[in-house]
């Protein structure tokens, strides 16, 4: 993980649920993420790890919710509109 997430802040994001669960530090976790940036991928991994740990021990739900680990990022890519080049980018306008 240190190779993929080089900064300590990103490593703390991913390790947050594992540290909060205490007894599960010896668990081996494999995750596959794609798209977005490094921080979004770290947050996505944190959510996935949290959901897996909830399947193992449902009593952790209140602690995870209080720590904010259960919240998913609701932002999505805006769709392309007709007549525009991208979602909001209009074609170049010439005055003459």
Both tokens of 10, joined, read: 């990103």
CA distance linking residue 1 with residue 88, whole number of Å: 37
Tens of pLDDT, residues 63-92: 999 999 999 888 889 999 999 999 999 999
Task: Provide the residue ranges of all domains of the chain, joining segments of one domain with +.
Answer: 8-67
For the chain, give me the number of helices (H) and strands (E)? 3, 0
CA angle, residues 41, 17, 35, in degrees to nearest 5: 10
Q: For the chain, what is the mean pLDDT?
A: 89
Cut 0.75: pTM above it: yes
36: left (phi over 0), alpha (psi -120 to 50) or beta: left
Q: Judging by beta carbons within 10 Å of its beta carbon (0-12, 13-18, 19+), is residue 67 exposed, middle or buried? A: middle
């Amino acid at each position: 993980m240190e190779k993929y997430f080089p900064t300590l802040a990103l490593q703390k994001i991913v390790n947050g649920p594992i540290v909060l669960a205490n007894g599960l530090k010896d668990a081996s976790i494999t995750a596959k993420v794609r798209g977005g940036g490094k921080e979004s991928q770290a947050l996505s991994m944190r959510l996935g790890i949290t959901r897996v740990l909830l399947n193992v021990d449902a009593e952790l739900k209140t602690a995870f919710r209080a720590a904010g680990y259960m919240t998913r990022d609701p932002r999505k890519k805006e769709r392309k509109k007709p007549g525009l080049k991208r979602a909001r980018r209009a074609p170049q306008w010439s005055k003459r």
